[in-house]
């Protein structure tokens, strides 16, 4: 089905012609109670979407479009294990990772929920041993540093959540993360560590991922060179499904934690991929993290579309990206601890919905997948917010803010005012983006008429405000699931498969071909385009390999 041929699509195309005439100031002036009507509580999250350039009629048409696209049916298909990832013939069951033990979710004739909880129990037992100091390294000393080696979803999720939940970390166990195949990443991570108190978590489903295994082998050499070959089994564990490769590496397969092909990498933080996070925050907090996901999952399944928060926000993004031509979206967490959250959402959204063909293989003729980016406040206010306020491109923004500061238990005095200042800036940015400052308002206080246009703010820039009492494990789970299900909503309406990622394959295959050409003795056989061949020769000359 080509959704762009539907009457509902055409209705929205017609309505978007008047997008430039939609003024937020006018909407608030003529719609008393707009804020209350467009603010929804979901678990601990309070989501205010009143500052979006949408009318009640716009939303009605978007809900109609979602029904035409079969959104409700796709949601049901996802959570019940149907193979909605059609290009890989797989279910999409990240929601099963946080299902209660009493749930029944079948893939084929097999209930996967007991498998999920069995892995969680093994993870918990292992984490308790490390955290309590019962797990010791080759020299008999407990582990002080865990180094997570992975890439993509095996890195972005764990490092983002580890940073976000700093207030909940173990007093002794600290974690570092290595993903980039640039050797500087590994060197920086290991430079000041004691091998005797260091453990590595190697996260690779196939245990063949080039970047991950390159870093893992170098880490292995580091351990073996200092503690001997027998130390590998005591200083390495694996998150993988390939027991043969894990065993060949020297890892005891009893310390291998598996997951399943129905878990996509960017959706895997709540699987065994979250082992490093569990080591940091403990099993109890990790289970609270999963509870937060489940809160939003249950809301997605049960709430009508008109009050379904991830559906609402996903449809608003469809409106902006596809019908109004807005190419990008900013995520602005007013929390230092969420400094990796925008990068995490880049992968979640752009790897999922950066697609140019529909599920049936036909090319789309409309815009999908916004460019997602961001930076924590207030740092961003002194860099790119200039463009948000006065640039020529309208950038919808998501603000995320908390009632209680992350440093509430700090021994430092005099920092309480910091949080009031932080929150004031967050609210002020959303207000000024929405309502701006007119030329007449500027002229009333600006004596130099030549400066009036420079100090005028057009306003009418849309945003969402997401608030919660505090950044806890549960709240972080709720935030992640909120965005996961927005991505699902957008992909369903666009008619694309949000759960494959073929776009990452070609570059990886070409890199494998190029690697030996960089280091081979003698002149390599040129097998690429003129530019790439020249780059290979230039690099070889820099390394003295000509």
CATH number at residue 511: 1.10.1390
Residue 410: which pLDDT band, with cuts at 50, 70 and 90?
A: low
Fill in the DSSP letter of residue 43: T
Boundary residue ending a domain (480, 496, 512):
496
Check pLDDT > 90 for residue 416.
Answer: no
Residues 193, 273: one domain?
Answer: yes
Boundary residue ending a domain (231, 255, 284):
284
Strand, helix or coil at 466?
A: strand
Q: Out of 5, 36, 382, 509, which one is annotated catalytic?
A: 382
Across the range 263-267, mean pLDDT stands at 93
Please indicate whether residue 60 is annotated as part of the active site.
Answer: no
Strand 328-333 and strand 397-402: pairing? Answer: parallel
The CB density around residue 397, as the number of other CB atoms within 10 Å, is 23
Instruction: Write down the pLDDT at residue 539.
Output: 93
Q: What angle do CA 304, 308, 312 make, to 5 degrees?
A: 120
Across the range 131-154, mean pLDDT stands at 96
CATH number at residue 477: 3.40.50.10490
Instruction: Write down the pLDDT at residue 523.
Output: 83
Check pLDDT > 70 for residue 222.
Answer: yes
Across the range 96-105, mean pLDDT stands at 96
Residue 309: which pLDDT band, with cuts at 50, 70 and 90?
A: very high
Residues 113, 259: one domain?
Answer: yes
Residues 492, 508: one domain?
Answer: no
Backbone CA torsion sign across 307, 311, 314, 316: negative
Please report whether residue 170 resides in a domain.
yes
Residue 93: which pLDDT band, with cuts at 50, 70 and 90?
A: very high
Across the range 381-408, mean pLDDT stands at 93
Residues 484, 511: one domain?
Answer: no
Residue 526: which pLDDT band, with cuts at 50, 70 and 90?
A: confident
Residues 225, 341: one domain?
Answer: no
Check pLDDT > 90 for residue 417.
Answer: no
Please report whether residue 459 resides in a domain.
yes
Instruction: Write down the pLDDT at residue 406.
Output: 78
Boundary residue ending a domain (222, 252, 284):
284
Fill in the DSSP letter of residue 402: E
Taking 3-state DSSP, the helix, strand and coil percentages for the chain, each rounded to the nearest 5, stand at 55, 10, 35
Residues 345, 485: one domain?
Answer: yes
Residue 381: which pLDDT band, with cuts at 50, 70 and 90?
A: very high
Across the range 106-131, mean pLDDT stands at 96
Which residue blocks in 347-497 are alpha helix, DSSP H? Answer: 352-353, 385-390, 416-435, 439-443, 473-494
Residues 145, 279: one domain?
Answer: yes
Range of the domain at 510: 504-542
Please indicate whether residue 382 is annotated as part of the active site.
Answer: yes
Residues 129, 209: one domain?
Answer: yes
Residue 357: which pLDDT band, with cuts at 50, 70 and 90?
A: very high
Please indicate whether residue 351 is annotated as part of the active site.
Answer: yes
Instruction: Write down the pLDDT at residue 124.
Output: 98
Residue 411: which pLDDT band, with cuts at 50, 70 and 90?
A: low
Q: Out of 110, 418, 508, 526, which one is annotated catalytic?
A: 508
* Contact present, 349 and 372 (Cβ < 8 Å): yes
Residues 184, 46: one domain?
Answer: no
Residues 356, 249: one domain?
Answer: no
Check pLDDT > 60 for residue 408.
Answer: no
Burial 348-372 (b: 16+ CB within 10 A, else e): bbbbbbbbeebbeeeebeebbbbeb
* 330-to-164, 333, 343, 379, 517 alpha-carbon distances in Å: 19, 10, 11, 14, 40
Please report whether residue 31 resides in a domain.
no
Residues 347, 272: one domain?
Answer: no
Strand 198-203 and strand 145-149: pairing? Answer: parallel
The percentage of residues in the chain with a pLDDT greater than 70, rounded to a whole number, is: 98
Between residues 19 and 1, the one the model is more confident about: 19
Q: What is the DSSP string of 148-165?
A: EE--THHHHHHHHHHHHT
Mean pLDDT of the chain: 95
Q: Out of 211, 317, 351, 517, which one is annotated catalytic?
A: 351
CA–CA dist 393, 19 (Å, integer): 14
Please report whether residue 73 resides in a domain.
no
CA–CA dist 251, 236 (Å, integer): 6
């Amino acid at each position: 089905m080509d959704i762009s041929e539907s009457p509902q699509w055409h209705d929205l195309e017609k309505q978007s012609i008047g997008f430039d005439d939609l003024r937020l100031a006018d909407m608030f002036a003529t719609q008393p109670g707009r804020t209350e009507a467009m603010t929804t509580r979901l678990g601990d999250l309070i989501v205010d979407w009143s500052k979006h350039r949408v009318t009640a009629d716009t939303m009605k048409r978007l809900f109609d479009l979602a029904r035409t696209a079969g959104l409700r049916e796709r949601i049901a298909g996802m959570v019940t294990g149907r193979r909605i990832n059609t290009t890989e013939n797989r279910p999409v069951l990240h929601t099963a990772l946080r299902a209660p033990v009493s749930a029944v979710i079948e893939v084929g004739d097999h209930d996967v929920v007991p498998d999920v909880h069995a892995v969680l129990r093994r993870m918990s037992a292992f984490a308790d041993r490390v955290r309590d100091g019962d797990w010791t390294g080759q020299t008999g000393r407990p582990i002080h540093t865990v180094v997570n080696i992975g890439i993509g979803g095996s890195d972005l999720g764990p490092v983002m959540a580890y940073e976000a939940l700093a207030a909940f970390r173990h007093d002794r166990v600290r974690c570092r993360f290595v993903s980039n195949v640039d050797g500087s990443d590994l060197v920086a991570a290991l430079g000041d560590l004691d091998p005797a108190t260091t453990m590595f978590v190697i996260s690779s489903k196939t245990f063949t991922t080039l970047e991950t295994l390159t870093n893992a082998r170098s880490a292995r050499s580091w351990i073996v060179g200092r503690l001997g070959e027998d130390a590998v089994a005591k200083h390495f564990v694996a998150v993988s499904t390939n027991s043969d490769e894990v065993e060949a590496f020297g890892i005891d397969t009893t310390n291998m934690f598996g997951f399943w092909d129905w878990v996509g990498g960017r959706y895997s933080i709540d699987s065994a991929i979250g082992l490093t996070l569990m080591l940091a925050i403990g099993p109890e907090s990790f289970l609270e993290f999963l509870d937060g996901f489940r809160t939003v999952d249950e809301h997605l399944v049960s709430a009508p579309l008109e009050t379904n928060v991830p559906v609402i926000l996903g449809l608003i993004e469809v409106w902006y990206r596809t019908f109004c031509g807005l190419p990008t979206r900013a995520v602005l967490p007013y929390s230092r601890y969420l400094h990796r959250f925008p990068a995490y959402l880049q992968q979640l959204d752009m790897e999922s919905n950066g697609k140019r063909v529909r599920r049936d293989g036909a090319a789309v003729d409309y815009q999908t997948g916004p460019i997602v980016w961001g930076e924590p406040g207030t740092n961003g206010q002194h860099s790119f917010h200039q463009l948000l306020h006065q640039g020529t491109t309208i950038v919808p923004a998501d603000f995320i803010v908390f009632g209680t500061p992350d440093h509430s238990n700090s021994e430092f005095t005099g920092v309480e005012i910091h949080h009031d200042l932080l929150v004031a800036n967050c609210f002020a940015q959303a207000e000024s983006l929405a309502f701006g400052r007119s030329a007449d308002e500027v002229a009333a206080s600006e004596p130099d008429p030549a400066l009036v246009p420079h100090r005028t703010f057009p306003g009418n820039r849309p945003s969402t405000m997401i608030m919660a009492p505090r950044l806890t494990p549960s709240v972080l789970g709720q935030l992640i699931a909120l965005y996961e299900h927005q991505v699902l909503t957008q992909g369903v309406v666009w008619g694309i498969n949000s759960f494959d990622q073929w776009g990452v394959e070609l570059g990886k295959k070409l890199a494998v071909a190029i690697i030996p050409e960089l280091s081979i003795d003698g002149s390599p056989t040129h097998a690429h385009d003129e530019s790439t061949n020249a780059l290979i020769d230039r690099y070889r000359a820099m390394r003295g390999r000509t």
